[in-house]
Amino acid sequence: AQVTSAEFVKSSKRKEDCPADGLPEFALVGRSNVGKSSLLNSIVRRKKLALTSKKPGKTQCINHFKINDSWFLVDLPGYGYAAAPHEVRVDWDGFTKDYFLNRKTLVSVFLLIDASIPAKKIDLDYASWLGKNQIPMTMVFTKCDKRKKRKNGGKRPEENVEDFQVLIREFFDAAPPWIMTSSITNQGRDEMLLHMAQLRNY
């Protein structure tokens, strides 16, 4: 599984405006600063393809990237952006949830979780919502290269990953697949591409 071409297709404000060509797609979502833009760029081996702006107004859309002319990677707005006004956050919830529940060509949501820190409530809430609504999810742990000092109870990425999986188990009938990644070492990139290829062929 290799990326031979990647092109930005469009930004959509609502699910209705998304591309209608029926190609399968994978949606990347996660807390602001989780490393989503870096990972997207690492996957397609290009710098600055993804929208890297931190301003909420710039990333408030559903962004479709066409890969190898045959499937989409979808960049969704980051959640939990502290500086976003309340109404904006509510709106994000509205349209991303509508997208998750009703986008027919969505194969799996890739929930990005920072493996360098302990589980955050907002990530657990997101995973729980996806599980309860039976939306296929893959956990993508980011920043797995980061080595925390063991003092102050700091845990290794492997331990945070394990803790997270235990915490979300109750929300899912079957344990969701998970991948450990790093945009610095490119750990997990081939695994992600392979995983997406397998899911597309189901």
Q: Binding residues for ligand GDP, per CB under 6 A?
A: 32-38, 52, 78, 142-143, 145-146, 182-184
**23/124 with CB nearer ligand GDP:** 124
Interstrand relation of 178-180 and 137-142 (parallel, antiparallel or unpaired): parallel
Q: Shortest Cβ contact with ligand GDP: which residue?
A: 35
Residue 12, judged by CB atoms within 10 A of its CB (0-12, 13-18, 19+), counts as middle
Least spacing, CB of residue 183 vs ligand GDP, in Å = 4
Q: SS3 for 125?
A: helix
DSSP tag of 200: H
**25/114 with CB nearer ligand GDP:** 114
**105/187 with CB nearer ligand GDP:** 187
- H/E run at residue 110: strand 106-114
**20/82 with CB nearer ligand GDP:** 82
Least spacing, CB of residue 140 vs ligand GDP, in Å = 11
